[in-house]
Structures are given as structure tokens and as C-alpha cells.
Structure 1
């Protein structure tokens, strides 16, 4: 019986994805671990599948997308739009969820890199040098992450967030709470706080937390006693958690507090009250991302070049029933 990658993984005491990386992305595996894998492979007579390894040399007509959290309702419409446009160009698409963790992202890359012509990494947690190494082996495009030499797409939320602040100010709000769930090194939500302060709003910052529904539930309890009359949440998922907890606490939205989310997912328009949110157009985003990725694939291996491009997709506010006049006397 032929020796498999699972046999090698068991013998070394590592995961199959680590064994795969030792052969396909060797620089991503610690030297001593890689040497042990190669040694055990030779002892057992394991030979990597040549057809799988040859995929790098030939086109697979497949594109890969790795996202931080597939449970976030923001991502499925984007993947669907990307898949539809890719199909029109003759590509199929693969998607993997890395749970916003560096190790899981590396595992996902190792699992699909040999099966795709190009990779789209969303808000990657990997160090710059590691991303350059990957780009040198697989055509790569980054979303919401800038690394010199690699093409990237950035979502510009500045306009939409500014419009949210202007709306709240016009409605009489002067004290806003910000639920921060951005990574500390990114400080995205800190910039939103600065934008609100520039409009004359006092801002109470909470976090940083994880960008999840439970974060909104936790933050809403703190906000209820903070004196803030308006809330800007990191995304719709966090905003919906806050909305649920406000309801449980007897805090009325928007009578007692106005609430704004970001992403304008489907849930924003079907919850009660409907959520005011900063919209990012999924179709526009998918079209821009696919253009960059197909261009990178056309350039072949060695995606980290001087030919890299930067693209930007904008945003706008969609006002709904969750925002209203500031309560009198506050």
C-alpha cells in the first residue's frame, strides 16, 4: 500500500497541512520541523503527488479566496458576486475561512495554493515578508492590506463614516459611543473616532474587541450607562448584538439611542428597527478584486513585482429607522 501524507503526519506528530507546506511552501515551516518531515518521508518512501505539484506549472482555471470569518454575513454576497464574475471569465472559485487567525490562514493557503491560479487574501494577518514569499510562488492580491510589491484592493470607509457622523450631528447628537473591533495594529476604528470628533462629536471608545455579535451584546450594557445618545458599531454583526441587548435592557432604538452599523448586509434591512449602515457594494468590490487577481494571474508566478496596482472601492451611508433625533435633555 502506498504511503500517504497522513502516514507522514502521524509519524512526525504534525498536521497534514504542515507536511504539505514542507513540500509546497518550505519557508513557511520551521527548519527543524521541515528537516524531520523530509527525513521521515524518505524513510517511509513517501513521494508527493506529482499531479498535485504540477498544478503550479499549468493553469487550473480556479481562483482562491481566504476570508477571516465566513459566519459574518458581509462575506457571502461578495463571494457570490466574485464567483459569478469569475465564471464569466472561465474560472471556478474556492473559498476558505481562517477564523481571523494567522496559523489557520497559513493552513488554508497550504491547502489550496496548489489548486488555484491565484489567491485573494482578505485582511491577512500574516507578516509582510511572509506575504511577499507567498506572492513569489502564487499570484496574489490583498484586500484591506497594503504590502509593497503586491497588488491590493482597499475599501475606503471614510466617506460613509463621515456621512454617518454628519447625520448624527444634524439630528442633535453630541455624544457618540464607538464599538471598536479592529485589530490593534490596524486602528481602523480609531480613525473613525477621529472623524467623528472632527465633526464636533464627543466620542467614548469601547474595545478593541472581537468583531462578533457577542461584542455588541457586551458593549450595549456599557453604553446604556455612558450618556451616549448614538452608537457607531464596527460592523452590522456587532450592531445587531447591541440592538438585541438594548431591547433586553429596555433602551429604545432610536428613541433613546441611535445606532449605526458598517457593511450594510442583508440583516441590516430586515431587523427591527431597520439598521442605518455604511454600504460597501458587493458587486463593485468583486469586480475590482477579480480584475486585479486576473491581472496578477496573467503576470504569472512572482506576484510581488514593480507592476503591482492599488485599487479603491468607496462607501456611502444608507439611513434607516435605527437613527433618529437625540433625546431631549441629553
Structure 2
């Protein structure tokens, strides 16, 4: 369980976490009508850096656009987002790496099931960067719950209410003694975990479901694809059958809150030799270094 740091951005200012509340009659509460992103801030002494901050802001903008939330982009630009992030981190003065969750809430009261023209409120809070999956080997279970398709609630938009789907699937996995779930789409193809993208390796080729497979086109997913190409690792994005995971040489997952973490078991079947494979190891080291300091891609933003 994560505990927010005491200072939170809510509305237009930094307040105590107990003051950052939404009314019970708002769309965010009634319908889960909010969109969000989570990004890491690396702390090294007095140096603080945010990873791919501009991309995370853009994801908020795009999630709003997909859902029809039309006020956020009118009121926020990247410079404002950066300034608030900087102020929030300074107010909490973390002594270790943290995550920041930024959310756009539709806080109109009892508007009915509509979104356009509704008032929004932005919240941002900080919490310790604790991974959501084991870093020493993950055990996965195929979920009986199917991933919500793009023509129902699109996975490429991070919509709060849609995460009921993830809760159902992950709780089933936990109840069955596993760490997390694997979602399949309506045709039985692999999508992702409850909150992380999935990769497999066969014959030296890195394979992952493409963005049309009802997945979140994750920022860390795209990071790993870029790093793999730079390492000369062949990459294929395509539909993935469930049984391909059973015979893969390596399986690993990616995400802001997952890092790059290897999978040792899928549905009771061991993956490879149940160790961190060479491609996963290479990409984990590159990813970890890139999140902290990156002169090549311009992905790291210095905070004051």
C-alpha cells in the first residue's frame, strides 16, 4: 500500500492531503470519470529529475481527448505542468525516488452521463517508488476476465473507471496464489498485465503485442522498444498467442510502477530456466540507467 506524501496539488494550489477531496456527487466519483498518468522522479542528493515528463503530459492530453474531456487542454500546457511538478516535489522534499500521480478529474456535480463542457480539477500527489510486481521473478495467471476492447473503453486512454477491469483480473490472480494476471482480448490474444505491458523473447527476437491489441501503448513500453533497437535486438510488434508465452525463452514486463521485471512462471509453467534472461537483463540495465540520466534521447527533465 502506498501512502501519499503530506503535500498535494489540488485545484490551483499545494494543500495538505486531507484537504484534497472530491464531492460524492461529482462525475469522478459517480462514474470514475477521471484520467491519469504516473511518472517517476529520481532523487540523487539535491538533484531531482523526472522521466519523460513531456510524454506523460501528452498522455493526459490524449486521454482527455479520447474520453471527451475538453477543458484540461484549454487550461494547461506543458510549462504549467512542469512548474506544478517542480513545486510539488519541492514542497515534499523527498529523500528517495518517488512516483507522481497526476489526474484530471471531472468534478461537475450530477451532470448525468456526459462529459463535454464539464468542469475539471487537477490533482497531483507523490508516493514512494515501490514496484507493483516482484523484481526477483513474477508468477502470472491467465485471467478469466477479458480485456475491455477499444470500442468499449479504450485501453490507450488511462481512464480511472476502466481499472475495475484490472482489479477483477488481478484479484483473481492473487486469490489463486499468483502475483498478477495476463489479459487476453476477445479473440484469445495476449494483451497485457493488470497495469504493465508484456514482452517475450523467442530465438533472440523481442516480441510484444502491438498497439491495436487493446493495450496501453505504455511510455516505458516505447522506451524499451527504442533501447532494444539501439542494442541491435530484433523487435516484432504483432498479435501474440497465449501458448507462445508457455514456450518463450524469456518473458518480462514493463511499466512506470513495474520497471523491467522478469517472469518465471505462466499458468504453472516455468519460463526458460526461471532466471533473468540475457535480453531482459540488458534492457533492464539500460532502462534503469536511462530513467536516471539521459543525454541521448532528451527524456530526463531537471527539476529545481
The alignment's TM-score, normalised by the length of structure 2, stands at 0.25
**Which one has a larger percent strand, Structure 1 or Structure 2?**
2
**Which one has a larger percent helix, Structure 1 or Structure 2?**
1
The alignment's TM-score, normalised by the length of structure 1, stands at 0.24
* Bigger-Rg structure (1/2): 1
